[in-house]
Structure 1
Amino acid sequence: MAEGFKVDLGALEAAASGITDTLAKMQFKKVSDLDPKKDDIGHGHLADVLEKFCTRWEIGVENLAKDGQAVSQRLNASVKAYREVDGRIVGHLDGTLSRDSGKDPGAK
């Protein structure tokens, strides 16, 4: 007989919360904040390359943040779905077990 599986809802919630917390902290840290002035670099071509790199890096970070938000939302939706199903099953079993089924046919 198969043993089934178990879902650790607390771990799913903690993962979603961790992602959300990280994304919240990222709102205050932008790659553009690291972008130095061309005079600080001391070399025009290097400064241009660094500026392009920072622009592409910012786009990548924004895409990762969107993906992270989607993962967090899906984890939270999974927790909600598991809890709803568990609640329905408990309600069904409570109703079944508390129902009067009459006289025990095996009793003498």
Structure 2
Amino acid sequence: MAEGFKVDLAALEKAASGITGTLTKLRFRKVSDLDPRKEEIGHGHLADVLENFCTRWEIGVENLAKDAAQVSQRLNASVKAYREIDGQLVGQLGGTLASSDARDPAAEQ
């Protein structure tokens, strides 16, 4: 017989919230903030390589942030779906129990 499974909705909500919090912090910190001026590097080629690296890094961070936002949205959607299904099942079970007039059909045989 299958044991079933349990979904920890609070953990899903906490994960979604943590992702959203990290994304909020990322909005205020850009890789370009770390990109020093060419004069500070002291070597033209090294400055160009560093600038290129920071530009690509920023693109990568932006892509990760988009993916993380999707993960957060999907976690929240999953929590909502589980809660809706739970509510429907409770309503159905409540209706079934109410219509049975609290009789035990097995006891009548």
- Range into which the TM-score falls when normalised by the shorter chain: over 0.9
1:51 corresponds to: 51
- Matches of 2:7 and 2:97, distance apart in 1: 25
1:7 corresponds to: 7
* Structure 1 pair 104–81 and aligned structure 2 pair: CA distance change class (3 A): closer
Q: What's the C-alpha RMSD, in Å, of the aligned pairs? A: 1.8
2:16 corresponds to: 16
Asked if 1:79 corresponds to 2:94, the answer is no
Structure 2 length-normalised TM? 0.93
Mind listing any 5+ residue stretches in structure 2 that lack a counterpart? none
1:27 corresponds to: 27
Taking every aligned residue pair, what percent have the same amino acid on both sides? 74
Q: Which has the higher helix share?
A: 2
- Matches of 1:89 and 1:104, distance apart in 2: 21
- Matches of 1:103 and 1:12, distance apart in 2: 39
CA shift for structure 1 position 31:
0.3
CA shift for structure 1 position 37:
0.4
Structure 1 length-normalised TM? 0.94
Matched length: 108
Letter of the aligned partner of 1:41 in structure 2? I
